A = this chain, B = another copy of it.
Amino acid sequence: MRDHELTLSTLYRRARSEFGDREIVSIGAGGRHTYSFEEFFGRVDRLAWALAGLGVKRGDRVGTIAWNHHRHLELYVAVTSVGAVLHTVNLRMAPHQVLDVVTRGGDVALFVDADVLGPLVDEGALPPDVPLVVLREDGDVIEAPGAVDYESLLAASSDEPYSYPELSESDPAAMAFSSATTGRPKGVVYSHRGLYLHSMMLGLADTWALSEADAVLPVVPMFHVNAWGLPFAALWFGSTILLPGRRPTAETVASLLEEATFAAAVPTVWMDVLARAREHAMRFPRLRLVVSGGAALNASLLAEADELGVPLIHSYGMTEASPVVLVNAPRSADATNVQKRVRQGYLVPGLEARVELSDGGAAPRDGVTAGELLLRGPWIVDGYVDDLRTEEVFRGGWYHTGDMVTIDAQGSLKVVDRQADLIKSGGEWISSIDLESALMEHPDVSMAAVIAVPDPRWQERPKAFVVATGQVTPEELRGWLEERFPRFWVPDAIDLVPELPLTAVGKFDKRALRGSE
A380: chain B residues within 8 A (beta carbon)? 1, 4
Stretch at the interface among A12-20, A307-315, A459-467: A12-20
A1: chain B residues within 8 A (beta carbon)? 190-191, 193-194, 378-382
**Are B4 and A331 closer than 8 Å at their CB atoms?**
no
A205: chain B residues within 8 A (beta carbon)? 203-205, 209-211, 237
Chain A 189-201, CB-CB to B under 8 Å as 1, else 0, gives: 0110110010011
Stretch at the interface among A101-109, A147-155, A345-353: A345-353
Check A6/B378 contact, CB under 8 A, given A332-B213, A349-B14: yes
A33 to B: closest C-beta gap in Å:
24
The interface size of chain A toward B, counting residues with CB under 8 Å, comes to 45
Q: Which of A352-377 contact B (CB under 8 A)?
A: 352, 376-377
**Are A237 and B18 closer than 8 Å at their CB atoms?**
no
Q: Which of A294-347 contact B (CB under 8 A)?
A: 331-332, 346-347
A171 to B: closest C-beta gap in Å:
11
Chain A 207-230, CB-CB to B under 8 Å as 1, else 0, gives: 001111100000000000000000
Most chain B CB within 10 A, of A14, A190, A347, A349, is at A349
Check A411/B18 contact, CB under 8 A, given A1-B379, A4-B378: yes
Instruction: Tell me if A170 counts as interface (CB < 8 A to partner B).
Output: yes
Instruction: Tell me if A270 counts as interface (CB < 8 A to partner B).
Output: no
- Cα distance, A291 to B382, chains bound together (Å): 40
Other CB < 8 Å A-B pairs besides A1-B378, A206-B237, 5 of them? A2-B382, A4-B380, A6-B378, A206-B211, A213-B332
A-B contact pairs, 28 of them (CB 8 A): A1-B191, A1-B193, A1-B378, A2-B170, A3-B397, A4-B377, A6-B197, A6-B378, A10-B352, A10-B377, A14-B347, A14-B352, A17-B411, A18-B347, A18-B411, A200-B200, A200-B349, A203-B205, A204-B204, A204-B205, A204-B211, A205-B210, A205-B211, A206-B212, A209-B209, A213-B331, A213-B332, A236-B349
